Chains A and B, each alone.
Chain A
Amino acid sequence: MAGMNEVNISHIRQDFLMPTGGLEVLRDINIDLRGGEFVSIVGESGCGKSTLLRIIAGLDKPTDGEVLIGGEKVNGVSSKVGILFQESRLLPWYSTEKNISYGLPRGMDRNEGRERVRSLIDTVGLNGFEKALPSQLSGGMQKRVAIARTLAGHPKVLLLDEPFAALDAFTKMNMQDEILRIWEREKITTLLVTHDIDEAIYLGERVVMMSPKPGVIKKVIPIDLPEDHSRTSDEFDAYRREIFKEFFGSDKRMSQWFSDD
């Protein structure tokens, strides 16, 4: 019997019907996540990362293949899966507090819910902004609200779609550490999608590399970093080089990128 929070993605194919004919967006995607594992998917824009997450979340039906969560076939949305969309998607008419409560499971006890929202506000560091509307928050803070809302549902599987792409470098690093802390504490199976190679290495226990047209898995790289995940260590650099070489081939573009860094 599979673990409750194990994810098996097998032979996923997704075609979109376009006026010009069928567009193959995903081809034969296979990924198995152990319960509690953190996997990053990295690939350029348009390679089908969001499409894959939508299928896992049950928002879209794949043309072919299936996704199992805890051994059960995904067939529509379920409370087992929490998805953090690429956009924050906060309700503009709700305060921080209410936006987070919006993610609470249905039929949860009122007091229990209030307590959970309060502790989530603590977790994402939004104390003092409980009553603020989204328009009064910075982009980073809006993202925190969205994260808290997703966690409010107590998902067994967490899907993160480029959660930090729109944030500045400092906020981004803080939030990445926050996500790691939450993941380590709650042991949620997490699938992160990103086009940021450093982010994929820093957060993932494995990095799945995707290439576009059609979206396929190019390579899977297990990441074994020292506890502190230091971004400046030689080990980190070695992974970075490996992934760059895999994506771009030539070392020339790579050295250019490293001097920019």
Chain B
Amino acid sequence: MSKKHKILSVCGVLLIILIILYWQIGSERGWINSILLSSPSDIAASFRSLWGSGSLQKHILVSFKRVMIGYVSGAGLGIMFGFILSTMPSLEKLFSFSLAIIRPIPALALFPLFILWFGIGEGSKIMVIAFMSFWPTFLNTEEGVRQADKNLLELADALQKGRVTKMATVLLPSTLPYIFAGLRLAISRAWGGVVVAEMLAASSGIGFLIEYSRDMSQTATMFTGVITIAIIGFTADLLLRILQDRICYWHTEVK
């Protein structure tokens, strides 16, 4: 990172601190309506009390579990389907029309149906998240396979590598950066999805917490929920990025 970039990053952090400071002072002086926008200190207090009672952790854990199950199965299927369809042109032809019809359906439009089919409990939420996680990973994996270097694939042919070896040594590694791009897109969608699903039909989870505190007109709690989502989303993306840099080591070497 150049010196100029470093200074700009530091300025970026300072900017946020400045905004929070102004926000706090503005709230104290009454420039800001506290019903619409709780002061940072009120939000911190709400955070502390929710954390202290352990209810915040409970909501986080519930949402986290839903996301993990839905995400892992949805993204896993996405990667698998992406690979299978893009390497088997006849299957791709067979399924492309059905997939093209299902893909534009917003996952949340299916939520009521999922409730009908899988119950109002965990099943329907996990299905929505799985559905949301499937598409970005599926499409990215497919694109990755399509973008694989034809010259390298031909090299594998010239060296008489078998189908499986060719997949493992050429196709999979060249697809990995795309798979990670899909995984990162999917995790943010999944987090967004779980919150909305919990707002619509749940009695626990971060989404429920936000919706419930709206009913109770607890603005600070709503903010606590939103900030929690931001922190978890940011952390999840950061972890995936670190994992990506580890696994796709040759990609980072180029920089």
Task: Provide the residues of chain B in CB contact with A59, threshold 8 Å.
Answer: 154, 157-158
Q: Is the CB of A79 within 8 A of B170?
A: no
Task: Provide the residues of chain A in CB contact with B53, threshold 8 Å.
Answer: none
- Tell me if A102 counts as interface (CB < 8 A to partner B): yes
Bound CA span A89–B156, Å: 10
Q: Is the CB of B155 within 8 A of A85?
A: yes
- Tell me if B152 counts as interface (CB < 8 A to partner A): yes
Bound CA span A91–B157, Å: 14
Q: Is the CB of B250 within 8 A of A103?
A: no
In whole Å, how far is A124's beta carbon from the nearest beta carbon of chain B? 18
Q: Is the CB of B173 within 8 A of A103?
A: no
Interface size class of A (residues with CB under 8 A): 20 to 34
Residues of B within 8 A of A (CB): 151-152, 154-155, 157-160, 169-170, 173, 248-250, 253-254
Task: Provide the residues of chain A in CB contact with B154, threshold 8 Å.
Answer: 59
Task: Provide the residues of chain A in CB contact with B160, threshold 8 Å.
Answer: 77-79, 106
Q: Is the CB of B159 within 8 A of A135?
A: no
Task: Provide the residues of chain B in CB contact with A83, threshold 8 Å.
Answer: 158
Q: Is the CB of B170 within 8 A of A103?
A: no
- Tell me if A31 counts as interface (CB < 8 A to partner B): no
> When A and B form their complex, what is the total count of cross-chain residue pairs whose Cβ atoms lie within 8 Å?
40
Q: Is the CB of A135 within 8 A of B253?
A: yes
- Tell me if A92 counts as interface (CB < 8 A to partner B): yes
Q: Is the CB of B158 within 8 A of A87?
A: no
In whole Å, how far is A231's beta carbon from the nearest beta carbon of chain B? 32
In whole Å, how far is B181's beta carbon from the nearest beta carbon of chain A? 17
**A117-158: which residues lie under 8 A (CB-CB) from chain B?**
133-136, 153
Q: Tell me the nearest residue of chain A to B173, going by C-beta.
A: A93
Q: Is the CB of B151 within 8 A of A91?
A: no
Q: Is the CB of B169 within 8 A of A91?
A: yes
Contacts A77-B157, A79-B160, A91-B152 given; does A102 touch B253 at CB 8 Å:
no
Task: Provide the residues of chain A in CB contact with B250, threshold 8 Å.
Answer: 92-93, 133-135
Q: Other than the known A91-B173, A133-B249, what 10 A-B pairs have Cβ atoms closer than 8 Å?
A: A78-B160, A85-B151, A89-B151, A89-B155, A91-B170, A93-B250, A102-B159, A103-B159, A106-B160, A135-B253
